[in-house]
Structure 1
Amino acid sequence: MAKVDKKGIVRGKAGSVVYRGYREMNIIQGKPRKFEQTSASIQASTEFGLSSTTAAVIRQAFEPAYVHRDGEAVSRSTQLVYRGLRNSLRGSVGQRDLHDADLESLIGMDFNIRSRMSEVLQVSQRVERDEEGRLSVFMGALNAKTDLRVPLSISKPVSKYRLRFSLIGFNFRKEYYEYLEVKDVEFRWQAQLEAREIRFETRPEPDQLLMLSVSLLAYSETRMEEGYVLLNSKEFSPCSIIAAFHAEEPGEYPARPVNMELDAAQQVRGASINNMCYEGNRLLREHERRKEKRSKGKLKAVNAGMMRNSSGRMKPTMKSGKTATRQGMDQIEDSSKFQSKKRVSFSSKR
C-alpha cells in the first residue's frame, strides 16, 4: 500500500506500480518482476561476474605494491580482465577463466591512472623467462634527474627513490596466490644507474600463473637517523603490471568448493600463501548446472512432442463446400446429357 509522507511524496506499492522519492521528486516505476533469462544473457552475466571477481583478487594481491590506487581502478581492471577472457582461444564462454585468457591485455595495467608508470619512468624494461621458470628483468640506464617525470610536490622534498619489482603467483582453480619474491633498486634523487639485469631466484610452481609489477616509491629524509617518510599519495603512486605468464599445469576446474590443503613444499613457505576471496569457480559450476537443466528441459519437450504425434490418428478430411457443390453439378450435367439415336419423351407420363 502506498502512503504519503510528511513532504507530500507518495511511497510504496499501489497495484502494478511502485512510488518512491528522490530528493524533491516523486518517481513512479513499474513493479519489478522476474524475467526468464536466455542462454546468451546467462553466459554474458557469468563472464562479467568472473571478470569482476578475478580483477578483485589481482587488486588485493598487488595492494602492497601500488600503495594508493585511483577510484576507477576497479572498473578499469575488470574491463581488462574481461577483454582477456573474450580474446581467449582455449575455452568457450562459461568454460574458461584467467588461466585460459589472453594475458597480453593485462600487461601495462596501471593501478593509479593519475601517475602512469609509462609516463613517470622513461626507461626501457624487458622481461624474460628461462627454462626453469625463473624471471629476469633487463632495465636500461637511468638518470634520476631526467628519466623520472615526477610532480614538483615530490621532486622538491624527495631524498631517494625505490624501484620495487613484485612477483606473485596465482592459481584461480585452487584459489590461492603466493608472494614469490620482491626486488628493490634504491638510488638517490640525483643518481645515475647503469643498465642492469634483475634476476629472480625463486622457481615458481608449475600450477602458478605469474604476474610481475613495478612500482616507484619516493622517500623524504627526516632529521632522525636513517629516517625516511614515504611521499606516495593518491595523486602520485605509480605501479603497473609489466609481465604475465601462463601456468604450465593449472589443474582441473574444481567440482566442489575448494578447501585448499598445503602440501609439504607449500607448508615451508606457508606465510607467503594467501587464500583468495574468489567466486569464479562457483559461477562456472552454476553455469554448468543451468546448462544441463536447460538441455534436459529441451530433451523432455522433444520427447513429449514425439509421444503426442505417435498417439494421434489420421482422420479423413472433408472437402470444402464449394468443391462438393461443383462435383454435384457435374453429376447433374452428366445425367441430363442427351444420348444420340434414342427417343426422348417430353411428357410427364411415360
Structure 2
Amino acid sequence: MAVIDSKGRLHGKIGNVVYRTMGNIKIVQSRPARVRQTLSTKESALEFGLVSNCGRILRSLYSSFSSCSDGRLLNRMNVALLKTLKDTEKPRGERDLHDGNAEHLKGLQFNINSPLTAVLSVRPLCSLVEGGVRVQLPFFKVSTQLQLPRYTKNAVLRLMIVAINFREGYYEYLDYKDISLQYGMVVPEQEWFSEIALPAGSIVLVSASLHCFGMKGIDGEPLSLNGKEYSPAEIIGAYRMAEEVRNEDKPGETIDNETVPKYTSSNRHRLINYRGKEILQEIALKRKRDKKYQERLVRNKISETEENSVINGVNLPLIGKVFYKKE
C-alpha cells in the first residue's frame, strides 16, 4: 500500500512498484523478481561459508599478530583457503581443507603494509623432513638487511609451528624459537630443527613474525611497536599430514571389544564454532531435495505431454510444437 503525504508525494509500494523520496528527488522503482538459485550456486555459497569459517578460526589462532593486520587479511586468507580446498580430486560438497593442498597457504602475508619479504632481505627456508620441521635462516645484518620501526630498542624474530585439525576439532601450538635482534647486530647463519611429533591427519603451519619493542612501560615491560603500519608476519611452511594408519596395538583402537583411551596432548585446545561438518551435511541435504525436485519436474512434464497428445480420445503424434491428425 502506498501513502500520499501532505505534499502530494507517494510513499510505499503498489504491486511491484515502490515509491520513495530521497532528499528532493522522487524515485519510482520496481522490485526485483525472485530468482531461483541453482543447486550449483547454493553449493558454491555453502563451500565459501566453510572457507570463511576456517579463516576466522585461523585468524583467532594467530591473534598475536593477526590483530595488527592491515585490515585486508580476511580476503587474502579466504582466497588462499579456497585454492587449498579446490586443489583436490574430490567433488564439491564432499571435501574440506584436509582433502586439499595446504601449500597454497605458504607465503600468506598477515600485513601487506609491511610484508616480511620486503622487511627482511633474506628468506627463512622451511622444509618438512623425517623426524620434524627444519627452518634455515641465512646470515644477515640487522642494520642494513632488516627494516625496523623508529624507536626500536630490541626485536624478536619468532618461528612458530602450529597444528590444526578441523575434523577432530582441535589446534595445538607445537614449538617455537625466538631469535633476539638488536640494531647493529650480525645474525649468523643458523638452522632450527624441531623434533616435535607432528599430529597425524592435521594441517601443520610454520610462521615467521617480527615483534619490535621500544622503551619500557610503567610495569617495567617493553612496549610493543607493532601495529597496522608495521607487523611483518608470514606463513613460510604449510603441510598436510597423512592420516594415522589403524593399528590394534595403538591406543584409541578397539581391542577385544574394549576401547582403549587415545593419547591426547595437554597442549591441545578445542576448536570453537567450527561448522564444516554441518555445512557438508547441508549440501548433502540440498542435493537430496534437489534430486526430488528434478524428478517431480520430469514427471510433470511427461504427464503434461501425454495429456496434450490426446484430443477427443485420439492419440496424436508430436511433430515439434504442432499437432497433426492422421487421415
What range is the shorter-chain TM-score in?
A: 0.7 to 0.9
Aligned to 1:213: 207
Question: Are residues 89 and 188 of structure 1, via their aligned partners in 2, closer, same or farther at CA, if it must alter by over 3 Å?
Answer: same
Higher strand fraction: Structure 1 or Structure 2? 2
Aligned to 2:275: 279
> Matched residues in 2 for 1:27 and 1:109: separation?
46
Give the drift of 1:15: 2.2
Q: Does 1:296 pair with 2:295?
A: no
Aligned to 1:137: 135
Question: Are residues 159 and 7 of structure 1, via their aligned partners in 2, closer, same or farther at CA, if it must alter by over 3 Å?
Answer: farther
Deviations 1:25-48 (A, max 9, x none): 655544366432212212221222
Aligned to 2:124: 125
CA contact (8 A) 1:173 1:250 kept: no
Question: Are residues 68 and 316 of structure 1, via their aligned partners in 2, closer, same or farther at CA, if it must alter by over 3 Å?
Answer: closer
Aligned to 1:246: 240
Deviations 1:86-116 (A, max 9, x none): 3x13311111111122222211111111111
Give the drift of 1:295: 2.1
Letter in 2 for 1:80: A
* Count of paired positions: 304
CA contact (8 A) 2:217 2:223 kept: no
> Matched residues in 1 for 2:182 and 2:73: separation?
30
Gaps of 5+ in 2: 246-260, 318-323
Deviations 1:233-266 (A, max 9, x none): 1110111111100131189xxxxxxxxxxx6533
Higher helix fraction: Structure 1 or Structure 2? 1
3-state SS of paired residue (2:110): coil
Deviations 1:20-78 (A, max 9, x none): 56677655544366432212212221222222222222111111144401111111211
> Matched residues in 1 for 2:110 and 2:6: separation?
46
State the identity %. Answer: 26
Q: CA RMSD in A?
A: 3.6
Give the alignment of 1:96-245 within 5 angstroms: 96-132=95-131, 134-150=132-148, 154=149, 156-222=150-216, 227-245=221-239
**Which sits farther off after the overlay, 31-40 or 2-11?**
2-11
Question: Are residues 116 and 316 of structure 1, via their aligned partners in 2, closer, same or farther at CA, if it must alter by over 3 Å?
Answer: closer
Letter in 2 for 1:269: S
CA contact (8 A) 2:207 2:235 kept: yes
Q: What is the TM-score with the length of structure 2 in the denominator?
A: 0.79
> Matched residues in 2 for 1:232 and 1:179: separation?
22
> Matched residues in 2 for 1:10 and 1:56: separation?
45
Aligned to 1:80: 80
3-state SS of paired residue (2:145): coil
CA contact (8 A) 1:208 1:250 kept: no
CA contact (8 A) 2:102 2:203 kept: no
Letter in 2 for 1:184: D
Aligned to 1:269: 266
Question: Are residues 24 and 60 of structure 1, via their aligned partners in 2, closer, same or farther at CA, if it must alter by over 3 Å?
Answer: farther
3-state SS of paired residue (2:36): coil
CA contact (8 A) 2:59 2:66 kept: no
> Matched residues in 2 for 1:9 and 1:238: separation?
57
Q: What is the TM-score with the length of structure 1 in the denominator?
A: 0.74
Give the drift of 1:224: 7.5
Structure of higher CA gyration radius = 1
> Matched residues in 2 for 1:192 and 1:7: separation?
78
CA contact (8 A) 1:66 1:238 kept: no
> Matched residues in 1 for 2:209 and 2:22: separation?
43
